[in-house]
Chains A and B, each alone.
Chain A
Amino acid sequence: MTARSERIRTVDEFDLLAAADSPLHAIDPRAKLLTVLLAVAVIASYPRHTVAGMAPLFLLPAAWLALGRVPLGFVLRRLLPALPFVLLMAIFNPLIDRAPLVEAGGIALSGGWISFASILLRFLLGMSLAILLVACTGFNTLCSALLRLHAPRVFVVQLLLLYRYIFLLADEARRVRLAYALRSGGERAVALPVAGSMLGQLLLRVMGRGQRIHQAMLGRGFTGDLPVRHTFRWHRRDTLFLLGWAVWIILARAVNIPDQLGLFVIKALA
């Protein structure tokens, strides 16, 4: 992949998926957005050592994957870049919290390892939902939904502009990188002092471009407001979608479904 940078390819794929058509694409973006927000809030609200209790929530990404016709590989590949950060956050738990919490088959598991697993599960759930949301809605539509839900305008305008110019920035970074590669005698890593001035260059260019864009916007009467087109309408199926998932998510939080299921099975066998 020398012609286009990896990042651009990633964003391109998102756009292509978002332009597709599926039952999930047809749902009003606000319904999807609110569902994801609720799910993320619930995921964050579980106690530290919950692992199995969260399992029912995996119905969400699984169903969306199928409904939205998104390839599983796409979601997994998008998850990878965030994984190191999560591991970095979670890895201290097993080191700090060494008190054994559960014993299974003679092996004692410390509370730290359990909470480590819990964090990983939360990451998997939350990130995969966010990825599916963008893949089945499109970034710009999502921003327009945010506006309709009365998110602060300044914030949404920033997101829109970020998405518009990330391509140019990536392109510019790639050109600088290529220019370096061509004259550095085949060295792969950028030497630290050079990296410093390269980043400085990039920053100056970005600032210059930012200024020119602002001038172009002022020239056309910009007053702090991007007029965004809203292309969606709320149907009854959107209410059903939101309600259905909300009930499932809250039920999964209120009742430990795997536990109850286990108890039920044991009772039935006895």
Chain B
Amino acid sequence: MSHHIVEVDGLNYRYPDGTPALHEIRFTIRHGEAVAIIGANGAGKSTLLRHLTGILVPASGNVRVGDCPVLPSTLRQVRRTVGMVFQDADDQLFMPTVYEDVAFGPANQGLPPPDVEKRVADALATVGCSHLRDRPPYRLSGGEKRAVAIATVLAMIPDILVMDEPTAGLDARARRHCIGLLKAFAHTRIVATHDLDLALDVCERVIILHEGRVEADGAAQAIFRDTALLERCHLEPPLRMQGCPCGGKLGAA
């Protein structure tokens, strides 16, 4: 299934004001992989994600999604393959009701109404929000908005899911729910996040960005144990791997 592959090769990007953002980024993500892209603030995570969906065009280098390079002429194909969940769910939910919002993508794909209906019902059921279908998005809580935003993308049946900070601003329970969803998907998943415990839970592979470069790319467990590397990139190990300092002290005493 070669069309689930994401290949980034020598990607460079500068912001319009000249600030360098990405430098010689290179990696390949294979079918069904779940990859976390982590890094400090301003490391270039969001900028990288924007290249994967063709929102930004590289200054040099290539991005390939499946069999086709991301170019202005292939954007329709790319956007059909890659579903992007935005950091701020409010940016993603622009229709008057949840139903219409989830139906937006499938309807634009030109599906007949019964199929659209089924897609919406399935997507909402997957994220556990079927009861919200007739509510306007601005009346939803943060967790509900996030789940519905994921449903809007799922309804388009993308091969690859790209998410920017899926757990930002969620309470503990909504975060758990979101992580559960991500783990359950069989899609190729690319998740940019500061939530390293999420990365540890969902992703077997981690790519660390530091000042616009790929600083490390490998198995999550190995990378999170490399404290020197994490420190160099202004990161800390996931809380779960930090041990309990309080328990340690008590043990020593």
User: Is B188 close to A, CB under 8 A?
Assistant: no
Closest residue of chain B to A225 (Cβ to Cβ) is B108
Q: Is A78 an interface residue (CB 8 A)?
A: no
- Describe B's contact surface by its main secondary structure: helix
Q: How far does the Cβ of A166 sit from chain B's closest Cβ, in whole Å?
A: 9
**Which of A165, A168, A227: most chain B Cβ within 10 A?**
A227
* Distance of A160 Cα from B83 Cα, bound (Å): 24
User: Chain B interface: which of A21-29, A176-184, A207-215?
Assistant: A207-215
> Which of A143, A220, A228 has most chain B Cβ within 10 Å?
A220
A216 and B79 contacting across the interface, CB-CB below 8 Å: no
**Does A45 touch B at the CB level, under 8 Å?**
no
The chain B residue with its CB closest to the CB of A11 is: B138
- Whether A220 pairs with B138 at a CB distance below 8 angstroms is no
- Known contacts: A218-B79, A227-B103, A228-B100. The answer to whether A167 contacts B94 by CB under 8 A is no
B99: A residues at CB distance < 8 A:
229
Contacting residue for A229 out of B83, B90, B91, B100, CB 8 A:
B100
Chain B residues in 8 Å Cβ range of A222: 104, 108
With A and B bound together, what is the CA distance between A196 and B79 in angstroms? Answer: 39
Minimum CB distance partner of B76 in chain A: A221
| Closest CB in chain B relative to A219 CB, distance in Å | 5
Task: Kindly identify, within residues 143 to 181 of chain B, every residue whose CB is under 8 Å from any CB belonging to chain A.
Answer: 152-153, 156
Known contacts A209-B90, A216-B91, A221-B76; 17 further A-B pairs (Cβ under 8 A): A140-B96, A143-B96, A161-B94, A164-B96, A168-B90, A209-B91, A213-B91, A215-B55, A215-B86, A216-B92, A217-B94, A219-B79, A220-B152, A221-B109, A226-B95, A227-B107, A229-B99
A-B contact pairs, 14 of them (CB 8 A): A15-B136, A140-B136, A161-B94, A164-B95, A164-B96, A212-B88, A215-B91, A219-B53, A220-B79, A221-B80, A221-B109, A223-B108, A227-B103, A228-B100
